[in-house]
Amino acid sequence: MYQKIGHLNDFKNNQIVTYFYDDREILTVKIQDEIFAVDNICSHAEEQLCEGAVIENEIECPRHGARFNLKTGEATEGPALLPIDTFNIKMSDNGDILIES
Ligand code: FES
C-alpha cells in the first residue's frame, strides 16, 4: 500500500524534507531526478540524519560522521555498523510521490 507524501514539484535537488509516516520520521531527498526515502534516525546513536549533509548518493550523520547509502540504507562509513531502513517510492501519472508502507 502506498501513501502520498507530496508532488514532484515539491522536491528540489539535494534538499532534505522529512515526513512523519506510520509513527516514523522519514527523510526524503531528490538526487538527479530520483527520490530516496530512508529512516531519519542514525543507527549509531539515534541522531537525526536530516541535519546532516547529502554527499553524492549518501547521507552523512551530523554527530559522528557515519554515512549511509540512500538507496540501500547500508552504512558505508563508521562509526555506524548497522544499516538504516529504506522505503520504496513511486510516482503516479500526475506526479504525486507515493511511499510504500
Ligand atoms: S549518531 Fe550518527 S554517527 Fe553517531
Burial class of residue 18, CB neighbours in 10 A (0-12, 13-18, 19+): middle
> Structural domain boundaries of the chain?
13-86
Q: Which tens digit of pLDDT belongs to each residue from 22-31? A: 788 999 999 9
| Distance from the alpha carbon of residue 26 to the mean position of ligand 1, in angstroms | 17
Q: Which tens digit of pLDDT belongs to each residue from 45-94? A: 999 999 999 999 999 999 999 999 999 999 999 999 999 999 999 999 99
| Distance from the alpha carbon of residue 74 to the mean position of ligand 1, in angstroms | 14
Write phi, then psi, for 9 (nearest 5 degrees): -65, -15
Instruction: Indicate the class that CATH gives domain 13-86.
Output: mainly beta
What is the pTM for the complete model shown?
A: 0.93
Ligand 1 contacts CB of residue 77 (under 6 A): no
